[in-house]
Chains A and B, each alone.
Chain A
Amino acid sequence: MNLYRELIIDLYKNPVNKRSMPDAHITNSGANVTCGDRVRIYIKKDSEKITDLSFEGEGCAISIAAASLLTEEAKGVLLNDISDWGPHNIFEWLGTELGPARIKCGLLALETLQEAVKKIKQ
């Protein structure tokens, strides 16, 4: 098992896009209560695309690394396309699959982003 690869540890210790965004158009929070993982996603958008995003939060290495990678990958992506993303995208970015015990850590940021996009559409 090679879950704690260099990339994951590095992104945990030096996350990217981990900052608040006071002028965000929309924010959304999510949590895995059982783990104590929390994330808040900030989004700037135009009529159809995500133009910028960032996150704040605390949690395990997997959840922070996944949030870092997600916020990189989602910049410039069509709002409509975000809902198509799923676990396989996260696994690809992390470079490893996650077992049942950790998948919720990996998916927290994505699910929080998808909820935010749903709110935008409504």
Chain B
Amino acid sequence: MRSDFPLLQKQPELVYLDSAATSLKPQPVLDAMNEYYTGFSANIHRGLYDLSERATVAYEGARETVREFINAKQAHEIIFTRGTTEAINGLAQSWGRQFVREGDEILTTVLEHHSNLVPWQMLAREKKCALKHIDVNDDGTLREEQFLKLLSRQTRLLTITHVSNALGTIVPLRKIIQQAHAAGIKVLVDAAQSAPHMPLDVQYLDADFVVFSGHKMCGPTGIGVLYMKERVQEKLELPWHFGGGMIKEVHLKKSTFQKAPNKFEAGTPPIAEAIGLAAAMRYLQSIGMNKIRDHEKQLLHYALKTLGAIDGVQLYGPNNPAMQSGVLSFGIEGIHPHDIAEILNEDNIAVRAGHHCCMPLMERLNLPATVRASFYLYNTEQDIDRLAAGLRNVKKIFKS
């Protein structure tokens, strides 16, 4: 399977442990995009010629592939965006503007990536509404009991991550979502770190919005998905972008808009990227999402054991493969994470060091930064052995 990834073929010595930032791309994804660019790279929806029709069929076919991948009821509940960030910003600017009023409250958690925090801060400032945060325990698991305490009659939205990008914590969402719905609150799930790594069933989760990015799941950059329940779509009057492709009628002073999904996809969409994302999903499905999750569970188990045995290494997060994705944050006592990452890089090991776009979480856990190794289907136990050897080398250089 590693042979499916051209970058690993070109650089057999590379130990790539930064898939939580972006994943490597398998050949079938590149082939699908190349086929579009070389075979039928026309614009969609408007042309009356064969090439355009072929492009439209491929683009709408990609939507159907996404629907199936996340088990949505209807294809039009799938909206293509540029990525998770655009989807959340778009919802804050459209749904937020329409439904959130002064004095209302938006509920979120301290686990969130900045992209699921800052857009809501901006909305809160504009609307004079409050933002409340569910805290975590010291091991990075959510203090679920706080949810009901923070819930109030003013709460309009719960926006919550499925998996923490910094610690790998898997948040048990189903019960919280049921409780939120019982209180009449809409729920947005940031699935950027779950959709690539475990089975995701939006009907089972029952969230109103589910967002994720293509490039973290073997797909291209520049494409993401916003799943929006049909019932919610119908009540959302305005999208966040306006332009071609989404209008019904335009007059000089007013316009009317198409129905979803077109209404939410103004301008020429990322056609090649949608086709690439569909190829990525088919690729992942050919392996099996359960199998990918099991593989990462095993790798995490091995990594916890191997890294945990190195003197001075501190592991952050749940340290429990049952409730943690293939993300492991750690540090070495007395050595700054940036120095660790830089020395690992000399051994051809790619990890991330820093706050992982989660400054409030780092502050809460009293960590200036961590080193993060994140795994995917192409990683092996040998990669983790190389990481462990790299960390021993770091300690040697620092004489610690």
Contact = CB atoms under 8 A, between A and B. Distances in A.
Contact of A13 (B355, B362, B399): B399
A36 interface: yes
Contacts, number: 45
Given A4-B343, A102-B342, A35 B354 contact: yes
Contacts of B359: 33
B346 A36 contact: no
A34 B397 contact: no
A9 B132 CA distance: 43
Contact of A9 (B337, B342, B346, B398): B398
* Interface size class, chain A: 10 to 19
B354 A9 contact: no
B369 interface: yes
B313 to A, nearest CB: 17
Interface stretch (A53-61, A67-75, A89-97): A53-61
A36 B355 contact: yes
A36 B369 contact: yes
A9 B399 contact: yes
Contacts of B354: 34-36
Interface in A13-51: 13, 33-37
A75 to B, nearest CB: 26
Contacts of A1: 346
A105 interface: yes
Contacts of A77: none
B336 A60 contact: yes
A35 B369 contact: yes
A4 B336 CA distance: 13
Nearest to B354: A34
B338 interface: yes
B68 interface: no
A13 B397 CA distance: 12
A102 B399 contact: no
A58 B366 CA distance: 14
A101 B354 CA distance: 12
11 contacts: A4-B339, A4-B397, A34-B354, A34-B355, A35-B368, A36-B336, A36-B337, A36-B369, A58-B368, A61-B335, A62-B338
Given A4-B342, A13-B398, A36-B369, 15 more contacts: A1-B346, A3-B342, A4-B343, A4-B397, A9-B398, A13-B399, A35-B336, A36-B337, A36-B355, A37-B336, A59-B336, A60-B336, A61-B336, A61-B339, A102-B342
